[in-house]
């Protein structure tokens, strides 16, 4: 990474581009009736991925940016699971046939907060409503502090084959500052338990830019994590947005590293993982060379969705649960964020869609360009624009934010082919933003670019 560029661009607040346009542009104009029409119009032979959001945790991690709430009562979780099953049946009925499913992802919150039998029932409901392919990837996000042996067994019997473990940092000073005390021994025990159950795909989530975090503590976390040999790492920069996430006010602004310190931490983690043999994939993922994600990156078939980088090639993502987002060929839909409103809609027999976005032809063109930049650090503008019936010259004229990036050596433009310089790849979000026609730089809705 070039420190001068980190200083120039690192403070910008930019989307992570897990969609285009991004969620702040969703509108209530797209509601349940629109979603029902979109579902009914899915073409014959379409396959889908499923995302299930479980918005509950036992305690709040102060860095968290997810839609979640703290619960002590298991009956509330059980009621939510029943609502999820009802929503799954509603969506399947609206589609009108049992479509193929290639990926299932449980996110949160803490999905494994459900009772093991409830998790198994939910998986059974999905298999009844949809044709879950034998080769489907079924992934679950896990808090190692609360996972039980009974839940691991329920996951095994339900066909789960990938687990994403929240690690963040093993530094006890950092852990106390973010209200997430999690020992290395706890994490190691969970990894061993999952592997003994045959759940072979193991992902670790790390975060840099946390309070009191240093390069040394980041590298110690990486060293400990490597000893457990996960297949993939996701490495995110902490997004401090206390105006939107009130619990983040528990984190002292003065304890957070500045832009250059974040840059150093991100660089140190990336270098350590690459030296250990992991392939850097896009903005924030690392994988073993033989991992399917590394293969997709090499073959230029990598995609990006709301879970980040993915090997999922489908055009349909069905979201279930409060705040869940789905993607169909026509556009995006998001469920009611508040759990009560979500449950009320489903119990009344209505799709829980609260807002969304209908894609225009220009949105689809820009989405393709942004996805290739985010996935490959390059984009053949001539080819992409031709497929959308326009010319690269027209698109380049509209990308005024691209000019300083070219002048500063962040981007090379050879004919119609754009490429991010190797030493500037940490600014890939800044390059993608040059093609974002909806971006409002004055709104502090996103995390810092570095």
Distances (CA, A) of 51 to 135, 140, 286: 17, 10, 22
- Is residue 349 within 8 A of residue 91, CB to CB? The reply is no
pLDDT on residue 424: 87
Cα separation, 267 vs 271, whole angstroms: 6
Report CA-CA distances (Å) from 261 to 205, 308, 382. 20, 24, 38
- Distance of alpha carbon 232 from alpha carbon 278, whole angstroms: 8
**Confidence at residue 446, expressed as pLDDT on a 0 to 100 scale:** 59
* CA–CA distance, 218 with 168 (Å, rounded to integer): 9
Residue 268 CA to residue 437 CA, distance in Å, equals: 33
Q: Does domain 3-325 have CATH number 3.80.30.20?
A: yes
CA–CA gap between residue 445 and residue 267 (Å, rounded)? 25
The ranges assigned to domains in the chain are 3-325, 361-448
Up-side HSE of residue 42: CA atoms within 13 Å toward CB? Answer: 25
State the Cα angle at 330 between 296 and 443, rounded to 5°: 80
* Orientation of helix 74-95 relative to helix 116-129, angle to 10°: 10
The pLDDT, as a whole number, for residue 259 is 81
| Paired sense of beta strands 285-287 and 279-281, if any | antiparallel
The 10 Å Cβ neighbour count of residue 361 is 10
Q: Which CATH architecture has domain 361-448?
A: Orthogonal Bundle (1.10)
Q: If DSSP codes are grouped into helix, strand and coil, which group holds residue 449?
A: coil
Q: Mark residue 250 as left, alpha or beta (left: phi above 0; alpha: psi -120 to 50; beta: remaining).
A: alpha
> Tens place of pLDDT for every residue, the chain, 450 residues?
577 787 778 678 789 899 999 999 999 999 999 999 999 999 988 999 999 999 999 999 999 988 899 999 999 999 999 999 999 999 999 999 999 999 999 999 999 999 999 999 999 999 999 999 999 999 999 999 999 999 999 999 999 999 999 999 999 999 999 999 999 999 999 999 999 999 999 999 999 999 999 999 999 999 999 999 999 999 999 989 898 899 999 999 999 998 889 889 999 999 999 999 999 998 899 999 999 999 999 999 999 998 889 998 888 999 999 999 999 999 999 999 999 999 999 999 999 999 999 999 999 999 999 999 999 999 999 999 999 999 999 999 999 899 999 999 999 999 999 999 988 888 899 999 999 999 976 555 555 555
- 8 Å CB contact between 40 and 96: yes
How much is the pLDDT for 308? 87
Please write down the long-range contacts of 171-174, taking CB distance under 8 Å and 24 or more positions apart.
171/212, 171/213, 171/217, 171/220, 171/221, 173/212, 173/217, 174/210, 174/211, 174/212, 174/213, 174/217
Residue 292 class from Cβ within 10 Å (0-12 exposed, 13-18 middle, 19+ buried)? middle
Residue 225 in contact with residue 273, Cβ under 8 Å? no
């Amino acid at each position: 990474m070039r420190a001068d560029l980190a200083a120039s661009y690192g403070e910008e607040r930019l989307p992570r581009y897990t969609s285009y346009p991004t969620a702040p542009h969703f509108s209530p104009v797209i509601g349940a009736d629109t979603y029902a029409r979109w579902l009914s119009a899915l073409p014959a032979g379409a396959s889908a991925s499923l995302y299930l959001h479980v918005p509950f945790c036992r305690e709040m991690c102060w860095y968290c940016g997810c839609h979640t709430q703290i619960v002590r009562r298991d009956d509330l979780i059980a009621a939510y699971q029943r609502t999820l099953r009802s929503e799954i049946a509603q969506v399947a009925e609206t589609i009108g046939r049992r479509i193929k499913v290639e990926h299932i992802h449980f996110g949160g919150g803490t999905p494994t907060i459900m009772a093991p039998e409830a998790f198994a029932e939910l998986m059974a409901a999905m298999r009844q409503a949809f044709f879950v392919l034998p080769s489907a990837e079924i992934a679950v996000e896990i808090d190692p502090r609360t996972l039980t042996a009974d839940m691991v067994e329920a996951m095994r019997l339900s066909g789960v084959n990938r687990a994403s473990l929240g690690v963040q940092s093993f530094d006890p000073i950092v852990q106390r500052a973010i209200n997430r005390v999690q020992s290395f021994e706890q994490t190691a025990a969970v990894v061993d338990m999952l592997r003994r159950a045959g759940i072979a795909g193991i992902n670790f989530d790390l975060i840099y830019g946390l309070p009191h975090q240093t390069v040394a503590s980041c590298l110690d976390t990486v060293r400990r994590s490597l000893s457990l040999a996960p297949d993939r790492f996701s490495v995110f920069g902490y997004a401090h947005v206390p105006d939107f996430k009130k619990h983040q006010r528990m984190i002292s602004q003065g304890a957070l590293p500045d832009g250059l310190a974040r840059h150093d931490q991100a660089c140190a983690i990336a270098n350590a993982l690459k030296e250990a043999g992991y392939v850097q994939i896009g903005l924030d993922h690392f994988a073993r060379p033989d991992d399917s994600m590394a293969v997709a990156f090499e073959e230029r078939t990598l995609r990006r969705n709301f879970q980040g980088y993915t090997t999922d090639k489908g055009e349909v993502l069905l979201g279930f649960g409060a705040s869940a987002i789905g993607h169909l060929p026509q556009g995006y839909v998001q469920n009611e964020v508040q759990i009560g409103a979500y449950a009320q809609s489903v119990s009344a027999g209505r799709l829980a869609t609260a807002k969304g976005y209908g894609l225009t032809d220009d949105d689809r063109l820009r989405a393709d360009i942004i996805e290739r930049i985010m996935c490959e650090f390059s984009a053949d503008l001539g080819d992409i624009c031709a497929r959308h019936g326009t010319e690269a010259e027209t698109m380049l004229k509209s990308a005024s934010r691209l000019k300083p990036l070219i002048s500063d050596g962040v981007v090379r433009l050879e004919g119609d082919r754009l490429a991010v310089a190797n030493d500037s790849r940490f600014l890939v979000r800044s390059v993608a933003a040059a093609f974002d026609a909806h971006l409002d730089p004055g709104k502090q809705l996103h995390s810092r670019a570095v």
